[in-house]
Amino acid sequence: MRSLLSYIFPMAASTSLRAAILCVLILASICALARPKDKEPAPRFNATTTGEKFNNETIKGKVVLLEFWTTWCGFCADEAAFVDKIGHDLAGKGLILLAIDVGESKKTVKKYLEQHPRNCKIVMMEDTNLAAMYQANVYPIYVVIDRDGNIAGTQRGAGGEEALRSLIARAGIESADDDAN
């Protein structure tokens, strides 16, 4: 009887190659499941912006929106204006917006921000351990941490303003737009 992998990967005739492929598939599955899940305590982190330091202790009692982005991500650029607006509008309700640039030099980000200014706290990847914790490999990624330090929700990929406001509402901060409905 031929193994299942022989049917899936007919070119992988040797047992050792099939075993190697199986190991890669299992490892990829484990990695996909490893990121923090909703309603679990947020992993211990450190993040630094210009002159400010954030960690699990300093955010207690606040809702935190983590936005993982890059300068080359078109969806990130499309959503930046309303992400900044939401961050500004909800700051008085206890929202902290941390926009974490992933995998780029400070020089690249500084040049980008000169042409595309942001109105939020920018965190560079080398100034935090968050990108690895949340497996930031597609952009944008949004993670909301509630006032108790638990992950209230995660969104991988662009979803628009309404989806982001809904994600933040899961942490207990309703938008003015939501209150009017």
pLDDT of residue 20: 57
**pLDDT per position as a tens digit, 157-179:** 999 999 999 999 999 998 765 44
Instruction: Count structural domains, the chain.
Output: 2
Residue 20 sits in which domain range?
4-34
Using the structure block, give the residue that is written with the tokens 């982005």: 69
State the Cα–Cα distance between residues 105 and 62, nearest whole angstrom: 29
Q: Which residues does residue 156 pair with via DSSP β-bridges, in sequence order?
A: 141
Confidence band, pLDDT 50/70/90 cuts, at residue 61? very high
Q: What's the whole-number average pLDDT of the chain?
A: 84
98 and 134 assigned to the same domain: yes
Residue 39 lies in a domain: no
131 and 89 assigned to the same domain: yes
**Is the separation of the CB atoms in 161 and 152 below 8 Å?**
no
30 and 53 assigned to the same domain: no
In sequence order, the 6+-apart residues with CB closer than 8 A to the CB of 159 are: none
118 and 156 assigned to the same domain: yes
22 and 81 assigned to the same domain: no
143 and 62 assigned to the same domain: yes
State the Cα–Cα distance between residues 19 and 151, nearest whole angstrom: 36
135 and 65 assigned to the same domain: yes
pTM, full prediction: 0.77
141 and 55 assigned to the same domain: yes
